Amino acid sequence: MSSVLLALVIFPFAVAVVSYLVPLGIAKVLAPLSGAASFVLALVLVPAVVLHSHVVDGSELRVDALSVVFLIATAFLYLTTSIFSAGYLDLAPNVAGLKYGRRFYAGLNLFCWAMIVTPLLSNMALVWAAVEVTTVVSALLVAIDDTDSSTEAAWKYVLIASMGLGIALLATILLYYAGSSVFGSGFQLSYVKLLSDAHHLPADVMRLTFVLAVLGYGTKMGLVPVHTWLPDAHSEAPTPVSALLSGALLALCFYVILRFYQITSLAIGSSYPRDVFLGFGIASLLLAALYLLRQRDMKRMFAYSSVEHMGIVAIGMSFGVVLAFVGVLLHVLAHAAAKGTAFFGTGSVVRKFGTKDMAVIRGGVSALPLSGSMLVAAVFALSAMPPFGLFRSEFLIVSGGLSDPGYGVAAVLVVLVTLAFFGLSWSTTQTMLTTGPADVVGPSDLAASTGTAAAETAAEVRAAEEVGAEVGDAEEVGAKVGGGHAGDGEATRRPVDRGEVSPWIVLSMVLGIAALLLLGVHLPADLSRLLNDAARELRSPR
């Protein structure tokens, strides 16, 4: 089985390198193949970890039930995102030329490689390094469209995330210090070793270590108040990158925090780390729920939805019972599928309507019968509606919370999730499910495309859309060419024709919805055992 781990380390990296060297057409094929191979290899690990009741152990590479859960989530998004990317770049053949395409695919594969490697590593210092690699690569991917907005988002992201990782590095060093007081100087900073004798780790140092780890990795996980980079980066990144950031990267940072949680709760009991989770979780869920009520930007709305879901899993961890832990881990899987699907649908809508402003889009499902419908389904899934996986996971989390005599936190969780549900579903149904012909509000000069200036503006807008700049930048270009803001002209409703923008986008969304249904309706037995085993790994003295 060590060969499987090795293949997971080598294959995506090799594809990243090759993608930069080969023609774009080959890179487009290689990425889904690499995603599919990674996903299959991740699934192959499930029986090895669960059915044979043992962990797969290499030298520095190691997986147990917990890491396999996160590996599956990441590999699944790698597969679906690379399928989506084929359609995403197909829509802009001129701009997604060799240079852009090479950078995009090399970055995408490298980003996925770093995320796949992270849960395979047992050394916490190497884990930190891998997470740092994800930051650097994804920051460059956020900036790849080379617009004002994407540059602003990338700068904020790289700066804030790096500061967070600076704190996480301090936490890692303190963890080493705590371990060296038990195992002596020069020991390998493996969480397995630390867990083996965690009871003897110094309590004060472990308290500080855990808080710093949550603060540091929580910055990348999107926990309030250190989440401020997230809405900008998610909304301005190319859509495939947004999906990976939201569905995989946030969860992966949560995984690292869970490793710290395991060690800390064995060292000092779980009460203190659970309180820390509760504080960050409530703050994240509350703020995200409030922001969801007032969002007009579709991608930004899903970014805040990610903050909301990270708040939910943090609160789930604060309940401290196995039932809630199972829910949390199922939530990670279902959120990856749902958020990926939601972003893919958003990409389709943006391509079709030329904007991500939900206030001006009407009749989304009429214009996009398949991807529009699946986007609505993904939003309902994110709102924890049955029969999707997130309903089941949130049900388990709340059930776990209700097993606590206090009930209070579970009640708060339900109230805030309901608030977020209203925000998400109201905006989306107004945009996607309105009856009548599909149209979008735009300035009359753009709609009519009459006259030289107007024609140039429209052409520039199309060009901006083609490079993946999407709405904010389309407006920017319009403003530059038209000599003012694109909205300066009289607003009219511009009709939008019916039809899907790309079969690849539809396929990626079908996979996402299928996964959500599978997780919600019929959880496979092996997967169920995997989640239970992983949850038991997290259990510790209360």
Interface residue list for other proteins (CB under 8 A): 123, 125-126, 129, 132-133, 135-136, 139-140, 143, 146-149, 151-156, 158-159, 162-163, 166-167, 169-170, 173-174, 176-177, 180, 185-189, 204-205, 208, 231-232, 235-236, 291, 294-295, 297, 300, 472
User: Strand, coil or helix: what is 489?
Assistant: coil
User: Strand, coil or helix: what is 140?
Assistant: helix
Torsion sign over Cα 219, 224, 229, 234: positive
Q: How many Cβ atoms sit within 10 Å of the Cβ of residue 305?
A: 27
Is the separation of the CB atoms in 424 and 305 below 8 Å? yes
**Residue 202 main-chain phi, psi, to 5 deg:** -65, 130
In angstroms, rounded to a whole number, what is the distance separating the alpha carbons of residues 132 and 220? Answer: 10
CB neighbour list of residue 405: distance below 8 Å, 6 or more residues apart: none
Is the separation of the CB atoms in 322 and 539 below 8 Å? yes
In angstroms, rounded to a whole number, what is the distance separating the alpha carbons of residues 504 and 99? Answer: 22
**Residue carrying structure tokens 């703020």:** 287
Nearest to 287, CA basis, from 420, 103, 457: 420
In angstroms, rounded to a whole number, what is the distance separating the alpha carbons of residues 34 and 293? Answer: 39
**Residue 488 main-chain phi, psi, to 5 deg:** -65, -35
In angstroms, rounded to a whole number, what is the distance separating the alpha carbons of residues 386 and 521? Answer: 9
In angstroms, rounded to a whole number, what is the distance separating the alpha carbons of residues 439 and 431? Answer: 10
In angstroms, rounded to a whole number, what is the distance separating the alpha carbons of residues 113 and 256? Answer: 16
Peptide bond into 386 cis (omega under 30): no
Residue 108 CA, chain-centre distance (Å), reads 14
In angstroms, rounded to a whole number, what is the distance separating the alpha carbons of residues 471 and 357? Answer: 8
Is the separation of the CB atoms in 134 and 162 below 8 Å? no
Is the separation of the CB atoms in 300 and 377 below 8 Å? no
In angstroms, rounded to a whole number, what is the distance separating the alpha carbons of residues 405 and 390? Answer: 25
Is the separation of the CB atoms in 516 and 381 below 8 Å? yes
Q: How many Cβ atoms sit within 10 Å of the Cβ of residue 149?
A: 18
Q: Rg (Cα) of the chain, in Å, rounded?
A: 23
In Å, how far are 238, 349, 399, 475, 539 from 144, measured between CA atoms? 8, 21, 43, 18, 42
Beta-bridge partner residues of 121? 61
In angstroms, rounded to a whole number, what is the distance separating the alpha carbons of residues 449 and 437? Answer: 20
CB neighbour list of residue 93: distance below 8 Å, 6 or more residues apart: none
Nearer of residues 232 and 394 to other proteins, judged by Cβ: 232
